[in-house]
Amino acid sequence: MPLKERFDLVIFDWAGTMVDHGCVAPVQALVEVFHRHGVLLTEAEARRDMGKAKKDHVRALLDDAKIAFAWAAASGQAPTAADCETLIGELGPLMRAQAALAAGLIDGARTTVDTLRGAGLKIASSTGYTREMMAPVLTRAAEQGYSPDHLVCSGETLHARPSPLMIYKACVDLGVWPLSRVVKVDDAESGVAEGRAAGCYTIGVAASGNGVGLSAAALAALPEAERSARIAAAGKALYAAGADLVIDSVADLVPALAHAAA
């Protein structure tokens, strides 16, 4: 069956799905902003709520008992709402700079989008980044041949992931329905939960995403058994979050959709 007979729209996440293999940029920015305030955030802690709007991500970190204790030890008091706003304000420029550095398209992303468009599907995107953070990423992606038909950023809907509102906004703006004809592709558990909540055909991306958390070169350098184990663990978490299917990277998407449409 041709893809257009089964699907009308594919909505891609950005970091870890289409750009920034391993979803490295937001981790580096979060670790740096907390370090400025005397809190040594681990990479695992930074990755735990990945995919959420950055405001929600920072709030979740400050609500963590271990991190809150470290904050109190460094500042003399428990974290407050004002502290959260301070961190968010400082995070913006850091996230923008790191995202710009990591805006190279993941292998296969351009070919996948061109193939989907050639089959008659629309291409949308959503992100936990604000539009300001996304500005340099959009520029670099366009230079590499990727410009989605639609973008929804953090703060542009009343609720962020895992609510389905960003998906709903894309569908309303592009005139696409029903949601069963929409594909959501995401590397983060919150993004997969978003797709599930919207009623989309939801595909998790394991190898290039937040669950593995490694650049393409670093992942390739791992011993085969360790590489396979890390990808399998990331895939298991994405299935647990509600994915209909998990693939290694966006390069595998078209065959996966063709199989689903058959």
DSSP code, position 164? S
Q: Which has the closest alpha carbon to 11: 170, 161, 130, 229? A: 170
State yes or no: is 54 an active-site residue.
yes
Instruction: Label residue 125 exposed, middle or buried (CB < 10 Å: 0-12, 13-18, 19+).
Output: buried
* Catalytic residue status for 122: no
What burial class does residue 260 get, using C-beta atoms within 10 Å of its C-beta: 0-12 exposed, 13-18 middle, 19+ buried? middle
User: Scanning the structure block, which residue is given the tokens 């292998």?
Assistant: 107
Catalytic residue among 20, 49, 52, 54: 54
Task: Write out the DSSP string of 174-240.
Answer: HT---GGGEEEEESSHHHHHHHHHHT-EEEEE-TTSTTT---HHHHHHS-HHHHHHHHHHHHHHHHH
Catalytic residue (one of 13, 49, 186, 252): 13
Which residues belong to the active site? Answer: 13, 54
